[in-house]
Amino acid sequence: MQTHISWVFIASPFVFKVKKPVNLGFLDFSTLGKRHHFCQRELELNGRLCPDVYLDVLPIYKTPSDFSFKAKGKIAEFCLKMKELPKGGFLGELVAERRVGEGEIDRIISRLRHFYESQTPNRDIEQWGTPEKLKISTDENFTQVEPFVGRKISPAAFEAIRHFTNEFYVRNEKLFCRRIQQHWIRDCHGDVHLDHIHLTPEATTIFDCIEFNDRFRFIDVANDVAFLAMDFDFEGRSDLGNLLLRNCAREFHDPEMLKLSDFYKCYRALVRAKVETIQATSMKRMKAREHSDAAARYFRLALRYAVSGSEPLLLAVIGRVGTGKSTVARELGNELNWPVFSSDQIRKTLAGVPLTRRTPARKRAEVYSRQMTGQTYKELLARGLLAAETHGGAIVDATFSSAANRESFRQKCEKAHVRFQAVELEVEPGEIEHRLRARNKSIGVISDARLEDLEKLLAAYEAPSQLSPNLITVPADTAIANTVKSVLLRLTELQLRRFQAEPNLIS
């Protein structure tokens, strides 16, 4: 098996791990001496959590005909000798088989708690809890992701994540200082994710900690735990991620851990996206596609934490006719990997009208009656709420011209414990007229609205000011990419303000 930095040879009952001769900036295995050093460090550091797994560092000798562990030639490489962990017990496997519950989560928490308590904090380690030191890692991450912008992650998503990260430091400096004062910065594991945890009835094994860069281990325990919570989210098990964080906060007597969880999950998701992208470049085609797809999902997950956090969100793209709601909603859905539901599509489906055919004049009174509008918005809400619960978020696209419809949506979302956020798109009247004229020449337009309907539709639109603070208004006169970027940045601003007003306590 291989990762972006190692080859792993399985020879039951042992495993031999060889470091690749690479220099990726954040790690340097480029010389034999460095690889030997980091093999020794890995053996030593993993002895803290799993001494029975890491057995020895062995030289590999090159002979005229082959390689050997026996001393009969020049040392060609060094490797770690480890005990093989049986298949079926890795946490990723257990999650896939739905064999993880509160009992397993609490076993992991107990193991981590004893580990963190055994690591004595000191000033050299705790300095890495300051925003200035933390920014070394996050800035480095953005620099290393930048070459992938436009290919693996959009410029809008990249800017939103970077804005959220950098502003979080500025607005929460006192919180980071408190974490240092309360001695939460320890010499941690640094890489706690699903595939680095193994469970049997007898043992809870957490292995493969970071050995190649101390600053990746000199972190807040909240950062360490957030990695695992993020991995649960990635696998569609936010219930387990939230359970982990909630029980950790209780067992560690650390409620403020939850104030940092979305920030650290955002960072960890971006790290995983970067690593998967690096792996994709070094693998054969089928494996490369697998890693590339995973990278795209991690990038979207990082964006989700930046714009909405860990709570389910129903995002409504609203506004007058011709403001580009459907296009913007679709692009936001692509950015966040969220389902998108259109009132125009639902209305025509309920009425039995082909989607890309304009509703016949004789049938429009029926299709746009108050009764059909009520059915349309009811179905829009039902689909949106279900998708928000299963995907972490969903987007609905509708004019929402009626204040009553908007308020009903908001109240029902609140009752369902799904946060509601509206984005109103604003376009100059002249641009709206231009867009509606263009519809007459376009094929495949779902909306029935045309220029001759404009005056009546504008008169029917009730300004959504009563939705505040669940409303942001974004100009949409320019290119779609600019509008999407503006929406994402505004959502990150809301998330930052929301955090300061009401920290997410993972209910």
- The CA distance from 45 to 126, in Å, is 18
pLDDT at 438: 85
Domain for residue 279, yes or no?
yes
Which span out of 68-72, 155-159, 281-285, 399-403 was modeled with the highest average pLDDT?
155-159
Distance of CA 308 to the CA centre of its chain: 10
Residue that is last in its domain, among 307, 336, 355: 307
pLDDT above 80 (res 191)? yes
* Contact (Cβ atoms closer than 8 angstroms) between residue 21 and residue 15: no
- The CA distance from 245 to 498, in Å, is 19
Domain for residue 503, yes or no?
no
Is the domain of 194 the same as that of 332?
no
pLDDT at 336: 97
Residue 318, strand partner residues: 424
Phi, psi of 479 (to 5 degrees): -60, 150
Domain for residue 500, yes or no?
no
CATH number, domain containing residue 158: 3.90.1200.10
pLDDT above 80 (res 502)? no
* Contact (Cβ atoms closer than 8 angstroms) between residue 376 and residue 350: yes
- The CA distance from 134 to 166, in Å, is 10
Task: State the average pLDDT over residues 143-161.
Answer: 96
Task: State the average pLDDT over residues 432-453.
Answer: 82
Angle at 138 between CA 133 and CA 139, to 5 degrees: 90
Q: How confident is the model at residue 507 (pLDDT cuts 50, 70, 90)?
A: very low
Domain for residue 506, yes or no?
no
Q: How confident is the model at residue 272 (pLDDT cuts 50, 70, 90)?
A: very high
Task: State the average pLDDT over residues 39-58.
Answer: 97
Two structure tokens written together for 162: 């970077």
pLDDT above 60 (res 506)? no
Is the domain of 467 the same as that of 355?
yes
Two structure tokens written together for 217: 């281990």
Task: State the average pLDDT over residues 256-273.
Answer: 97
Domain for residue 165, yes or no?
yes
Task: State the average pLDDT over residues 47-67.
Answer: 94
Task: State the average pLDDT over residues 40-69.
Answer: 95
Q: How confident is the model at residue 124 (pLDDT cuts 50, 70, 90)?
A: very high
Domain for residue 487, yes or no?
no
Angle at 42 between CA 39 and CA 45, to 5 degrees: 150
Task: State the average pLDDT over residues 66-87.
Answer: 93
Domain for residue 491, yes or no?
no
Is the domain of 262 the same as that of 133?
yes
Is the domain of 460 the same as that of 366?
yes
Closest among 291, 258, 321 to 499, alpha carbons compared: 258
Which span out of 33-37, 148-152, 365-369, 431-435 was modeled with the highest average pLDDT?
33-37
pLDDT above 70 (res 303)? yes
Segment 35-40 long-range contacts (CB within 8 Å, at least 24 positions apart): 35/77, 35/78, 36/78, 38/211, 38/212, 39/78, 39/79, 39/80
Is the domain of 332 the same as that of 301?
no
pLDDT at 458: 86
Is the domain of 10 the same as that of 79?
yes
- The 10 Å Cβ neighbour count of residue 11 is 9
CATH number, domain containing residue 327: 3.40.50.300
pLDDT at 284: 74
The residue type at 486: S
Is the domain of 193 the same as that of 337?
no
pLDDT at 505: 46
Is the domain of 275 the same as that of 342?
no
Is the domain of 63 the same as that of 190?
no
- Tell whether pTM > 0.85: yes
What domain range is 134 assigned to? 91-307
pLDDT above 80 (res 443)? no
- Give the chain's domain count: 3
Query: Following DSSP, what letter does each residue of 239-307 receive, concatenated?
Result: HHHHHHHHHHHHHTT-GGGGGSHHHHHHHHHHHHHHHHHHHHHTS-HHHHHHHHHHHHHHHHHHHHHHH
List all residues 6 or more positions away from 257 whose beta carbon is below 8 Å from its beta carbon: 184, 221, 222, 225, 245, 248, 249
Selected residue with higher pLDDT from 294 and 440: 294
Is the domain of 74 the same as that of 115?
no
Is the domain of 392 the same as that of 325?
yes
Residue that is last in its domain, among 263, 287, 307: 307
Is the domain of 292 the same as that of 318?
no
Q: How confident is the model at residue 477 (pLDDT cuts 50, 70, 90)?
A: very high
CA distances from 314 to 201, 381, 396, 398, 418 (A): 41, 9, 7, 13, 7
pLDDT above 70 (res 145)? yes
Residue that is last in its domain, among 307, 323, 356: 307
Task: State the average pLDDT over residues 489-493.
Answer: 97
Q: How confident is the model at residue 501 (pLDDT cuts 50, 70, 90)?
A: low
Domain for residue 130, yes or no?
yes
Do the strands 54-62 and 74-83 form a parallel or antiparallel pair, or are they unpaired?
A: antiparallel
